[in-house]
Amino acid sequence: MTVDQKEKPKGERIAKLLARAGVASRREVERMIEAGRITLNGEPVTTPATLILDTRGVRVDGKPVRRAEPARLWRYHKARGVVTTSRDERGRETLFDRLPPGLPRVVTVGRLDLNSEGLILLTNDGALARAMELPSTGWLRKYRVRVHGAVDEAALEKLAHGAIVDGIAYGPITAKLERRQGANAWLTMGLREGKNREIRKVLASLGLKVNRLIRTSYGDFDLGKLPPGAAAEVAAATVEKLNRRLAAPTPRRRRG
């Protein structure tokens, strides 16, 4: 039998399949395997590379894992003052405390900080969430930002070449003045990296204080007129196409 004739391994990596089944993110599943919390047909799973066809015989902490459902995706309008994590050590209200009834277990695609609002994507597929978050995906995130201070439009234009703030390098950011409103102004901004509090830090370096930040889109998906706290499911055909697209090799983007 030649190399080309060898049969390909059957099944998927257990970490990937359990992420899609909604157990946890792929990385968290790997940690669960290291901790001996996952078994297959009664035997401990020792590597996340273990191949399985489905979740039959798989148990987490002794409990059987439900069959992986098809990937689903929702647009959700996060309100200001709500944290994105599933649990908050300070006891603050989380996004998951406010989810509409009837949703399955979901994870967020990326985050918005406490005082930011707008579009968050939710999915029951941990592997899909991770693929959408990867820097290599390079999805554009758009925002409307209200700032206090004197806006220098020339300084905003320079952000298209990136910025360095407190020793941290940020990629290209599009930023335009939308309108002035007394001592405040509204900006429209777009970026692809989305580092921690990136917009707030970059604008602070220009002498501008952000007092409202709304994410209006993430990649192909827009907030639209979705009210705060509401969720709208994305069509299954769209999610299927998205999965295929993310699984395909991504050509390298030129920087700048």
- CB under 8 Å, gap of 24 or more: what pairs does 193-196 form? 193/135, 194/110, 194/141, 195/168, 195/170
- Quote the CA–CA distance of 22 and 128 in Å, as a whole number: 11
Judge contact between 67 and 227, C-beta under 8 A. Answer: no
| DSSP structure string for 116-145 | -EEEEEEES-HHHHHHHH-GGG---EEEEE
CA dihedral of 204, 205, 207, 213, whole degrees rounded to 10: -30
Judge contact between 221 and 119, C-beta under 8 A. Answer: yes
Structure tokens at 31: 């940690």
Length of the chain measured in residues:
256
Q: Which residues pair with 127 in a beta bridge?
A: none
The answer to whether 220 is a known catalytic residue is no
Give the Cβ contact number of residue 256 at 10 Å.
Answer: 8
Give the Cβ contact number of residue 73 at 10 Å.
Answer: 24
Q: Which of 61, 113, 125, 166 is catalytic?
A: 113
Give the residue ranges of DSSP H helices in the chain.
14-20, 26-34, 126-133, 153-158, 198-204, 236-247
**Catalytic residues, which ones?**
113
